[in-house]
Structure formats: C-alpha cells, structure tokens
Amino acid sequence: MKASSTSADRLTRLLALVPYVVSRETVSMSEAARAFGVTERQLQDDLNLLWCLELRSPDPYCPIDLSYEGGEITVSEAESISRPLRLGADEAAALLVALRMLAELPGSAERDALTRLVAKLEAAAGEAAAAARQLSVDVDRRTGSLGVVQRALREDRRLRLVYYVAGRDENTERDVDPMRVLVVDGRTYLEGWCRRAEGVRLFRMDQILEAEVLEAQAEVPAGAERRDLDGGLFQGSASDVRATLELAPSGRWVADYYPCERVEELGEGRLRVVLLTSDARWVRSLALRLGDQGRVVAPAELAEGIRGDAERALALYS
C-alpha cells in the first residue's frame, strides 16, 4: 500500500475523513485505512490531529467529538461542518492573489479554469476583490522549464536536464524519469528518478538550465518511492554534518540559496543558519567564497579547518 506523502495530500485526506465517518455512523480502522490508501498507523496519526480540531462560530468553541477506541471510529458533534464556508475579507483577498499567481505560472494547463474561478470569486468577494486587484504579484520566470516538465509528465516520457548543482557550483547533465511537480515553501521542484544517481531526487526548477523531452518512455523502478515531505523538504541523516554559519547582511543570500535546517535573526540584518550536508568539503568552499560576508562558527573542527584553508590561500599571494 502506498500512502499519500505530501502535506497537501494529508490535508485533502483530513478534510474528507470526518464526512466519510459521519455518513457511515461508525467505521472500522482497517476499512477506513483501505479507503484512504494509508496504513492504520498513519490513519491513527490523522485521527490524533483531528481530535485537536475545534470549529469556531458561533461562540463557544465547538470541538468535534471523535473516538476510535476498540478499532471503531465514531464522530459526533460535527454538525457545524455542514455550514457553508464563509471567507473573511483578508482570506478572500489572499485566495484571489494566490489564484492569480497560479494562473500566471508558465506552462499552466489549468489557466482557463483558474481564470473562470477568479472571476466567480471576484463577483462574490466585493471589497476584498477590489483590495486584491491593488496587489501586484511577480511570478519567478526562472521556472521556465515547467512547461517542458509538465509535457513529459503528461506523455510519460524521459527528460534530459542540464542542472546546476549549487553544492558543487557546477552544471551537470542527466536523464530523469519524472514523477511529479511539487511547490514547497514557495519554490517549485521536480521529483524524479535520476538515472545518473540511480535514485529519487528533487530538482529545483529555477536551477534547471535546460530541459528536453526525449523519445524514451519514463521507466521509474517499481521500488522507487516519493519523498515523504511531512517532516520538511530537507531531511538529513545521523551522519550529516550540521554547519552553523553567521552571516553579515550581504551574506543573507545563503539562506535563500541553500537548504537550511534552521534560520535565526541576529539583529541588524545578520543571520545565523544551520546547513545540513553529507560532505563538508562544499561548506569549506562556500566559507572561502563568502569572505567577510559570513563565517562558520560550528563545529569547531570545521571552523578550524576553514581558517587553515584561508591561511594557506593567503600564503600563496606572498
């Protein structure tokens, strides 16, 4: 059984789970797990989250009474979920801005449907629609390969990519069998089976320099699994090095360009970031390129090694 693996998938499942149980009065854990394509353990995690849900309006709070003891799921006090959804002015404006941004994405196959939906929402939203029209949204055009990637997904064909690897500061060529396109933390990614790495990899769309659809059919191995992103996009292993850098205002670009486990504001425009890596060599290279824009402060042995690198580099000039 292959479970849903993204936060969006889980949200869809959570929204459907309560009406599913209510319509049946009671349902077994095993039956519900089969219906939603998840394991019973994952379903239990979903139910634990739903158990914390409270619906407001009118006061007082209206908690959903949910029970799954004995392997049987029951839901009561859930009449409020049948109320029509009413958006506040700020919610309606945010939704309209997001929909317009999606419609402007290059290669969007649903542009006509999104345009019609925006028109209907504007007609119903009144003042919120007027406020949303005053906002300007700039779409990152560096996702220009998105249309090519979407075509490969529709036609189930292999892609040839020229991809910039930031950690090694080099361009690489590789064939990829596409699996899906993701939008995570405001960035668009291609997930696919990389035939060069012989594994599932994520490719940032703005770092795909060239993309070509090949005649070969995509052949994702049967055992290849989509990344579970519920724990975040970048998930390290126990053997990874956690490099802590302190960045000057001119070095803040590091937090935007590299996957960070943690980002902390230090005041006056400075940042402290923690980078995860399985190979500390590229962190040493990054630190030397940063110069006075930032420095590695931990682990101590890595910081000491970088100081040694810098001293040897300076010695060459004398």
Do 48 and 102 lie in one domain? The reply is no
Whether residue 293 has pLDDT greater than 80:
yes
Whether residue 318 has pLDDT greater than 70:
no
Do 297 and 263 lie in one domain? The reply is yes
- Which pLDDT value is given to residue 156? 93
Do 11 and 66 lie in one domain? The reply is yes
Domain boundary, last residue among 59, 82, 105: 82
Contacts of 106 (CB under 8 A, 6+ apart): 139, 141, 143, 144, 146, 147
Do 118 and 163 lie in one domain? The reply is no
Specify if 233 maps to a domain: no
Query: Which tens digit of pLDDT belongs to each residue from 188-237?
Result: 889 999 999 888 888 988 889 999 999 999 999 988 888 776 655 665 55
Number of domains in the chain: 4
Specify if 117 maps to a domain: yes
Do 202 and 246 lie in one domain? The reply is no
Specify if 77 maps to a domain: yes
Domain that holds residue 163: 157-217
Specify if 227 maps to a domain: no
- Which pLDDT value is given to residue 116? 79
Specify if 291 maps to a domain: yes
Do 182 and 246 lie in one domain? The reply is no
**Which pTM was predicted?**
0.46
Do 47 and 95 lie in one domain? The reply is no
Do 76 and 96 lie in one domain? The reply is no
Q: Which CATH number belongs to the domain containing residue 50 in this structure?
A: 1.10.10
Do 288 and 245 lie in one domain? The reply is yes
Do 167 and 211 lie in one domain? The reply is yes
CA gap 182, 230 in Å, rounded: 13
Query: Which tens digit of pLDDT belongs to each residue from 97-129?
Result: 777 766 665 555 566 777 777 777 777 766 655
Tokens 């929402």 map to which residue?
121
More confident residue, 148 or 62: 148
Query: Which tens digit of pLDDT belongs to each residue from 133-150?
Result: 555 555 444 456 888 998
Specify if 145 maps to a domain: no
Specify if 226 maps to a domain: no
Do 211 and 247 lie in one domain? The reply is no
Domain boundary, last residue among 64, 82, 100: 82
Specify if 148 maps to a domain: no
Do 74 and 122 lie in one domain? The reply is no
Query: Which tens digit of pLDDT belongs to each residue from 1-32?
Result: 444 445 556 777 877 887 888 778 788 988 98
